[in-house]
Amino acid sequence: MFAAYVTVTILASIFTGIAAVTYLIDHDYPKAQADMKRVPRSWIPRLGMALAAGSLGLLAGFAVPLLGTLAAAGLVLYFIGALIAHLRVGSRQLVGWAVFFVSVVAALTVNVLYHW
């Protein structure tokens, strides 16, 4: 179980960390996504910071298990919000969302199973 916990947590942290970097370096992809979902561009840095905090929180969970659990739960909520944003504008381009969502749900699941 330990190997699954470490592997899934690190993968979820890498996925969300890469997404956070694209949001924080002012890459074109997050801008296009924000425009498509009719989200103000001023939210992009905040969304990037939320992703970065979640990514770092997952890693910090190796030292403080409760922090990892809370970070994973926060990321699950973040991606539920992303799904709502997609559906609100009628977007059915959900493959990318699904990859992120499944990875953070898996991280939350292995975290809870391993620690609690």
For 37-53, what is each residue's pLDDT tens digit?
999 999 999 999 999 99
Residue 65: pLDDT over 90: yes
- The mean pLDDT value for 32-41 works out to 93
Q: How confident is the model at residue 93 (pLDDT cuts 50, 70, 90)?
A: confident
Q: What is the pLDDT of residues 2-29, one digit of tens each?
A: 999 999 999 999 999 999 999 999 899 9
Q: How many domains is the chain built from?
A: 1
Cβ atoms 12, 58 nearer than 8 A: yes
Q: Can you give the pTM of this predicted structure?
A: 0.94
Q: Is the pLDDT of residue 116 over 90?
A: no
Share of the chain above pLDDT 70, in %: 100
Tokens of 107: 């991280």
Domain ranges, residue 56: 2-115
Q: Is 110 exposed, middle or buried (0-12, 13-18, 19+ CB in 10 A)?
A: buried
